[in-house]
């Protein structure tokens, strides 16, 4: 990625930089791969709710997957209509359900029987019928970090398989919910095909079972989870959507008139974003040199929380500069406030700009005010 460094000098660091050309190209590729099939992609707002990003996602015609009243409001503020929005989450409050019903959202992804009862009651009180999909926990291992695996029996998400028939029967008996589909989401940053193939097989099996009981569904929603390449962001800045959607084209047996829905977050926005930070000090320790930058785990928590590594680049250093080995750390009073150890980088000086790459997803949105720091700014160019 070529960074517009001349434009960066007037912006105070740290800030998130979004390359809108890459975002648009990514969205165009998603649309190209889904154009000739009844596939509908909902952007998972949890990855990044920046208003500039949401505006571009909306222009591209994607729908929205939200998981809170706040995300619902962010989507509506960005101009999405209720009919484009699916609402997931294990702990939707009454107020959030009311907001969803009032906005006439496309669908609630229901995660438990008590939640379905509350949706039914609130819809009845408003004289409405709420569309729902049942989120199934398919007990599939996504082979990803344990904090972002969601589809195993031990996880809190969805309805476990042995309970599915009971919940389907309950939905059919309720007057103010309309069961339109099944929903799955097995985890995030999935870099192998196999979990998605297993998901297709499971969806086929459950559809067959439900059909045998006379239940017809208009949608299947397979969630999100497509991973990206953190180690080489410029190698394939646009994820392999052709291959990803191809798995579902090949393996998932859709019924005539049925739509297949997706909820992609990371693969849509991760690579277009970088956290830009300035070097405050270069400090020589006993056996190490430290680059101390002005961004910390409050701005980008993924390394501290998931042991994630975002590629680190010195974007001020001239090409071909000699290199040195550094630990790159933030200013926060925790040892986990570290972006990289033994990083080989061009010789770095106070004042240089550093880019932490692939930070467009789960970066800005997970920022906190820890240490009473300011939220990072953002710029979309
Ligand atoms: N649908 C549901 C129901 C989800 O829970 C998620 C993500 C998605 C869709 C979008 O998944 P994606 O396409 O982005 O993988 N903060 C973590 C990731 C947490 C993902 C939570 N759920 C991280 O920084 O890696």
Specify the pLDDT at position 146: 66
Confidence of residue 141 (pLDDT cuts 50, 70, 90): confident
Confidence of residue 155 (pLDDT cuts 50, 70, 90): confident
Neighbours of 295 (CB within 10 A): 28
Specify the pLDDT at position 153: 67
Question: pLDDT tens for residues 59-81?
Answer: 999 999 999 999 999 999 999 99
Q: Sign of the C-alpha dihedral, residues 104, 85, 72, 146?
A: positive
d(CA 228, CA 90): 26
Cβ pair 245, 34 in contact under 8 A: yes
Angle between the N-to-C axes of helices 69-77 and 94-102, in degrees from 0 to 180, rounded to the nearest 10: 30
Is 263 near ligand 1, meaning CB less than 6 Å away?
Answer: yes
pTM: 0.96
User: How far is residue 15 from each of residues 59, 73, 325, 334, measured CA to CA in Å?
Assistant: 24, 24, 25, 21
Is 88 near ligand 1, meaning CB less than 6 Å away?
Answer: yes
180 alpha-carbon distance from chain centroid = 24
Question: pLDDT tens for residues 6-35?
Answer: 999 899 999 999 999 999 999 999 999 999
Minimum-distance ligand 1 atom for the alpha carbon of 362: 24
Confidence of residue 189 (pLDDT cuts 50, 70, 90): very high
**Is the model's pLDDT at 312 over the cut of 80?**
yes
Q: What is the CATH number of domain 20-270?
A: 3.20.20.10
CA of 225 from ligand 1 middle (Å) equals 6
Confidence of residue 148 (pLDDT cuts 50, 70, 90): low
Cross-strand pairs, 144: none
Give the residue from 229, 265, 275, 268 showing the smallest Cα distance to 23.
268
CA of 88 from ligand 1 middle (Å) equals 11
Nearest CA to ligand 1 atom 8: 224
d(CA 248, CA 254): 9
Share of the chain above pLDDT 70, in %: 97
CA of 185 from ligand 1 middle (Å) equals 9
Specify the pLDDT at position 143: 74
Is 188 near ligand 1, meaning CB less than 6 Å away?
Answer: yes
Q: Domain 6-10+271-380 in CATH: superfamily?
A: Lyase, Ornithine Decarboxylase; Chain A, domain 1 (2.40.37.10)
User: How far is residue 41 from each of residues 44, 97, 167, 190, measured CA to CA in Å?
Assistant: 9, 22, 26, 17
Domain ranges across the chain? 6-10+271-380, 20-270
Neighbours of 315 (CB within 10 A): 17
Structure tokens at 230: 């953190």
**Is the model's pLDDT at 151 over the cut of 70?**
no
Is 306 near ligand 1, meaning CB less than 6 Å away?
Answer: yes
Is 270 near ligand 1, meaning CB less than 6 Å away?
Answer: no
Question: pLDDT tens for residues 195-247?
Answer: 999 999 999 999 999 999 999 999 999 999 999 999 999 999 999 999 999 99
3-state secondary structure 277-340: EEEEEEEECCCCEEEEECCCCCCCCHHHHHCCCCCEEECCCCCCCCEEEEEEECCCCCCCCEEE
Q: Going along the chain, which residue ranges are E strands?
A: 15-18, 39-44, 63-66, 85-87, 107-110, 130-137, 159-160, 177-183, 219-221, 259-264, 273-284, 289-293, 312-314, 323-329, 338-346, 353-356, 377-380
Cβ pair 328, 338 in contact under 8 A: yes
Nearest CA to ligand 1 atom 23: 362
CB under 8 Å to 35, separation ≥6 — which residues?
A: none
């Amino acid at each position: 990625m070529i960074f517009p460094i001349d434009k960066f000098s007037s912006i105070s660091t740290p800030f998130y930089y979004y390359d809108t050309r890459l975002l648009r190209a990514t969205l165009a590729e998603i649309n190209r791969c889904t154009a000739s099939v009844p596939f509908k992609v909902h952007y998972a707002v949890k990855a990044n709710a920046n208003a500039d990003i949401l505006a571009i996602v909306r222009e591209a015609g994607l729908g929205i997957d939200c998981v809170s009243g706040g995300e619902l409001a962010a989507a509506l503020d960005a101009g999405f209509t209720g009919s484009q929005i699916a609402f997931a989450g294990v702990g939707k409050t009454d107020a959030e359900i009311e907001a969803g019903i009032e906005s006439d959202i496309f669908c609630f992804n229901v995660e438990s029987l008590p939640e379905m009862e509350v949706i039914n009651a609130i819809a009845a009180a408003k004289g409405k019928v709420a569309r729902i999909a049942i989120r199934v926990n398919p007990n599939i291992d996504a082979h990803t970090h344990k904090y972002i695996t969601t589809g195993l029996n031990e996880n809190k998400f969805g309805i476990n398989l042995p309970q599915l028939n009971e919940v389907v029967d309950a939905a059919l008996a309720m007057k103010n919910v309309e069961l339109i589909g099944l929903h799955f989401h097995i985890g995030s940053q999935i870099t192998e095909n196999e979990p998605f193939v297993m998901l297709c097989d499971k969806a086929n099996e459950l559809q067959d079972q439900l059909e045998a009981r006379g239940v017809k569904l208009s949608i299947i929603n397979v969630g999100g989870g497509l991973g990206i390449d953190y180690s080489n962001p410029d190698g394939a800045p646009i994820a392999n959507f052709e291959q990803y959607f191809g798995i579902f084209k090949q393996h998932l047996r859709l019924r005539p008139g049925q739509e297949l829905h997706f909820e992609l977050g990371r693969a849509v926005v991760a690579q277009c974003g970088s956290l830009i930070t300035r070097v405050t000090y270069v400090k020589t320790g006993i056996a190490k040199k430290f680059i101390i930058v002005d961004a910390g785990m409050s701005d980008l928590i993924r390394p501290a929380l998931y042991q994630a590594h975002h590629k680190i680049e010195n974007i001020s250093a001239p090409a071909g500069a000699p290199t040195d080995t550094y630990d790159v750390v933030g200013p926060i009073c925790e040892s986990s406030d570290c972006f990289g150890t033994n990083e080989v980088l061009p010789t770095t000086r106070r004042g240089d700009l550093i880019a932490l790459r692939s930070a467009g997803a789960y970066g800005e949105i997970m920022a906190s005010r820890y240490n009473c720091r300011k939220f990072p700014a953002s710029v979309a160019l």
